[in-house]
Amino acid sequence: MNFLPLFPLNLVVFPHEDLNLHIFEPRYRQLINECIDEKKTFGIPSFVNSKLLGYGTEVEVKQLSKRYGDGRMDIKTKGLRIFRIVDFQNPAKDKLYAGGDVVFVENEDLSELVNPYLLSLVEKLYRLLKVKVDYEKPEYMPFSYRIAHKIGISMQEEYEILTTSSEKVRQEILIDHLERIIPVVTEVERTKERIAMNGHFKELDPLNF
């Protein structure tokens, strides 16, 4: 059992993910100052649909980018390990911030293999949206973690990715999402094209009956 200072947020943080935070509340200024001074980590449990669901990611402060005169801070953090909250205390004893006893979750499958079908769906989505997204990362990070924030899945689905220990299953969840969303995006793009053509002279191929 490990005790972690906790900073619940309305987002899902994945291991190895870089996250920039602006710290302004007094309780979290206290938390971050202690982490910097004592070189300790803290946890970001996911707060989804107004509920603390119980899982989150341990993070470390990599850099204090800016400290403002009123005590606010801009910091750079990195995700480390997934944890499950066993005992949540709000506030933690003698602190302004929350804390809790946690157990760290072993990730049984951190394979770097990418399902080719998943990759083809991701590329198809980006072609439809006419956007270029960099989902490559020089350091090791499972593909599901790299892409989960970048294909429009809901926070609830992101949380499902976080709490799924198998990379194969995580990629299957993403495939299911993309198979559902790509036909919708395709139809939206067709509608946009039809709207853009409205009022223009059209050259139509004659139909053979």
Question: Which whole-number Å values give the CA distances from 190 to 2, 67, 193, 195, 205, in the listed order?
Answer: 53, 48, 5, 9, 19
> Tokens standing for 88?
């949540």
Same domain, 15 and 93: yes
What percentage of the chain carries pLDDT values higher than 70? Answer: 88
Q: What is the pLDDT of residue 209?
A: 45
- Residue 51: give the domain boundaries: 2-104
**Amino acid at site 9:** L
Look up the pTM and report it. 0.84
55-74 pLDDT per residue, tens: 999 999 999 999 999 999 99
Contact 180, 154 (CB under 8 A): no
Mean pLDDT of the chain: 89
Q: How far is CA 33 from CA 17, 42, 61, 73, 95, in A?
A: 21, 11, 10, 9, 12
Q: Is residue 209 part of a domain?
A: no
Is the previous residue joined to 142 through a cis bond, with omega within 30 degrees of 0? no
Provide the pLDDT confidence category of residue 141 given band limits of 50, 70 and 90.
Answer: confident
Plot region of 155 (φ>0 → left; ψ -120 to 50 → alpha; else → beta)? alpha
Res 190 pLDDT > 90 = no
Tens of pLDDT, residue by residue over 147-183, are 999 999 999 999 999 999 899 999 999 999 999 999 9
pLDDT of residue 137 exceeding 70: no
94 and 175 both lie in a single domain: no
10 and 99 assigned to the same domain? yes
Each residue of 15-24: b (16+ CB within 10 Å) or e? bbbebebebe
| Last residue in a domain, options 104, 138, 153 | 104
Please tell me which residue, 40 or 189, carries the higher pLDDT value: 40
Q: Which pLDDT does position 89 carry in this prediction?
A: 94
Q: For residue 25, name the pLDDT band (cuts at 50, 70, 90).
A: very high
Say which residue, 3 or 134, is predicted with more confidence.
Answer: 3
Total tally of structural domains belonging to the chain: 2
Under the banding of pLDDT at 50, 70 and 90, the label for residue 77 is very high
Joined tokens for residue 150: 């970048």
